[in-house]
Amino acid sequence: MELPKYDLHCHTTASDGALEPLVLLERAKQKQIQILAITDHDTLAGIRQFTDQDLEGIQLIPGVELTCAWNQRVLHIVGLGLNVDSEELQGYLSNLAELRLARARKVADQLISMGLPDLYQAAKEKGGDGVIGRPHFAQVMFEQGLVSSEQQAFKKYLGVGKKGDVKMEWPSLTEALAVIKNAGGVSILAHPTKYKMTFTKLRGAINDFTDAGGDGIEVSYPGMTPDHHFQLLRIAKEKNMMISAGSDFHSPNHTWTDLGKYPPLKSDENHVLNYLLN
Ligand code: AMP
Ligand code: MN
Ligand code: MN
Ligand code: MN
């Protein structure tokens, strides 16, 4: 079966995306996307803004990208096909919103210790009604001329191992997988090659992920090498995992990607859409 045009990973202003949910939806229509999963970091607020009328034939898959902890590292788990009315999921997400706010204060303090001004309030305003994250700090730092680009802000201050990458007590991988399952969703390990892990370490993460009930893995997303793509396909096959793909779209300013843009998949075998559409 040929799959319709789809994107199963993207962000709105409800988290660190640049486009309001309705604007993102318009863009998806322009790009002829037929199936769209909105997967904001730790919130469902974007999805909640749509009515059936807005969708105009686009099939919306309620999703989320959960931040969780595994072996002192942070993993991102995409949940797809969620019941957005799940009280357990809602409680889980409001806890995460509080954690993120507490983290923002700590990030600001770390940046102060590196000689920057207190950016807490400005970053919070950037986040607007959405959940706050490091990209909001990066945007403020760029706007205030403290760094030459948002990427530079991550490189110097906010990225893995930098002072602004504040350690938090995120929920565990097991907890993240359980809340997705209990809300009727499937869990997908997001962008596996973007955690700066060796493949040996990554295999360990994937083993723990499937042991804890994880369902699938992203095998296609922007910025991956063909070699990574084939290694991930092989792992998915070996471990009988579902496969998923998405652009991880955040902003039209990110010229290297767009909605629906990621390396094409040759086969739809075990594709998560086969499961979600049935
Ligand atoms: P947070 O959710 O606050 O932990 O921030 C993670 C988000 O920051 C990711 O989803 C990306 O959107 C963004 N991000 C992470 N690393 C980088 C980087 N090196 N350069 C630009 N953006 C990044
Ligand atoms: Mn993001
Ligand atoms: Mn992610
Ligand atoms: Mn993402």
Q: Which residue's CA is the closest to the ligand 1 atom numbered 20?
A: 151
Instruction: Convert the pLDDT of each residue in 208-258 to its tens digit.
Output: 999 999 999 999 999 999 999 999 999 999 999 999 999 999 999 999 999
Taking each helix axis from N to C end, the angle separating 173-182 and 87-113, rounded to the nearest 10 degrees, works out to: 150
- Residue 137, token pair as written in the block: 């700090």
Q: Kindly tell me if the per-residue pLDDT of 148 is higher than 80.
A: yes
pTM of the complete model: 0.98
Does residue 134's CB lie within 6 angstroms of at least one atom of ligand 1? yes
Q: Kindly tell me if the per-residue pLDDT of 2 is higher than 80.
A: no
Ligand nearest to the CA of 42: 1
Residue 1 alpha carbon to ligand 2 centre in Å? 32
Residue 135 alpha carbon to ligand 1 centre in Å? 6
Instruction: Convert the pLDDT of each residue in 165-193 to its tens digit.
Output: 998 999 999 999 999 999 999 999 999 99
Instruction: State how beta strands 59-70 and 73-80 pair.
Output: antiparallel
Q: Kindly tell me if the per-residue pLDDT of 139 is higher than 90.
A: yes
pLDDT of residue 278: 83
- In order, the DSSP letters of 155-175 are IIIISTTSTTS----PPBHHH
Q: Kindly tell me if the per-residue pLDDT of 6 is higher than 70.
A: yes
Does residue 133's CB lie within 6 angstroms of at least one atom of ligand 1? yes
Does residue 159's CB lie within 6 angstroms of at least one atom of ligand 1? yes
- Return the sign of the alpha-carbon dihedral for residues 152, 219, 5, 80: negative
262 by DSSP, 3-state: which?
coil
Residue 39 alpha carbon to ligand 4 centre in Å? 7
Instruction: Convert the pLDDT of each residue in 56-115 to its tens digit.
Output: 989 999 999 999 999 999 999 999 999 999 999 999 999 999 999 999 999 999 999 999
Q: Kindly tell me if the per-residue pLDDT of 4 is higher than 80.
A: yes
pLDDT of residue 201: 97
**What letter would DSSP give residue 149?**
S
Taking each helix axis from N to C end, the angle separating 173-182 and 199-211, rounded to the nearest 10 degrees, works out to: 40
Per-chain mean pLDDT for the chain:
97
Contacts for 173 with CB less than 8 Å, ≥ 6 apart: 68, 69, 70, 75, 77, 208, 209, 212, 214
Which domains does the chain possess?
Answer: 6-85+172-276 (3.20.20.140), 93-158 (1.10.150.650)
Q: Kindly tell me if the per-residue pLDDT of 261 is higher than 80.
A: yes
User: Could you tell me the pLDDT band of residue 44, with boundaries at 50, 70 and 90?
Assistant: very high
The rounded distance, in Å, linking the Cα atoms of 139 and 133 is 10
The rounded distance, in Å, linking the Cα atoms of 102 and 99 is 5
Does residue 41's CB lie within 6 angstroms of at least one atom of ligand 1? yes
Q: Tell me, what amino acid is at 64?
A: V
Q: Kindly tell me if the per-residue pLDDT of 126 is higher than 70.
A: yes
pLDDT of residue 52: 87
Q: Kindly tell me if the per-residue pLDDT of 118 is higher than 90.
A: yes
Contact status, residue 188 vs residue 173, Cβ threshold 8 Å: no
User: Could you tell me the pLDDT band of residue 1, with boundaries at 50, 70 and 90?
Assistant: low
Query: How many CB atoms sit inside 10 A of residue 120's CB?
Result: 20
CA 30 from chain center: how many Å?
Answer: 22
